[in-house]
Amino acid sequence: MRIVAGSRKGHRIAAPRGVVTRPTSDRVREAAFSLIGPVEDATVLDLFAGSGAMGLEALSRGAASCFFVERDRGACQVIRANLDKLRLTEAASVANRDVVAVLREEHARGRRHDLVLVDPPYEQWAKYAASLAELLPEVLEEDGVSVVETSAKVEPELPLDLVTSRRYGSARITVFSR
C-alpha cells in the first residue's frame, strides 16, 4: 500500500498481517478523499483504524492531527511504525482501545473533530450501528464530515445529513455531514 497524495505521496505503508484487519485500498482511499475535499488543518478521528491508512492519508494531505483508535494491539504497533516511517508522530496519537469507549470519553470531554473516519469490520456494522448513531454526532464539529466504509451491500444510516454514498467493488463509502 502507498500514500496516494500529499506530502507523503508514494511512500509505502505497512498493513497488519493476518485477517484481523482489511486495509482500505489505494483506489478507495483516493475516491474517499475526492468526496471529502480538502482536509488542511483538520482534526481527524480514525475509528477502527486498522493499518491507519485513512488517517495517514489525511495527515499527508495536511490534516493538523489524527487520533487513531484500534482494538487490535498488533494493528496499533503497525500504525505507530507507519507514523514513525512517515515522520508524522508529532501530529498523531494512537489508542489501543474499544471504539465505543473512546467515543463516550471524547463526548464526555467535549472533544469534537472535523473529520471522523469509520471503518468497522464489514461483518460487524450492525453490532456498532446504534452506538455510532448515538455518539458520532456528539464528536463531530458543526461543519464536520464523517466517512463510513462498509461492505457494498450495507447502506449505513446515521442521524447526520447524507452527502453521498458510492460503491467501489466490495466496499461502500458513505459521507455524512453535520
Type of residue found at 5: A
Per-run averaged pLDDT (10 residues), the chain, 178 residues: 81 73 74 93 97 94 97 95 94 97 97 97 93 97 96 95 94 94
Contact 48, 127 (CB under 8 A): no
| pLDDT reported for residue 21 | 54
Fold of domain 26-177: Rossmann fold (3.40.50)
Type of residue found at 113: H
- Give 115's strand partners: 44, 145
Q: Which residues are CB-contacts of 73 (< 8 A; sequence separation ≥ 6)?
A: 96
Distance CA 108, CA 19 (A): 33
Distance CA 175, CA 9 (A): 23
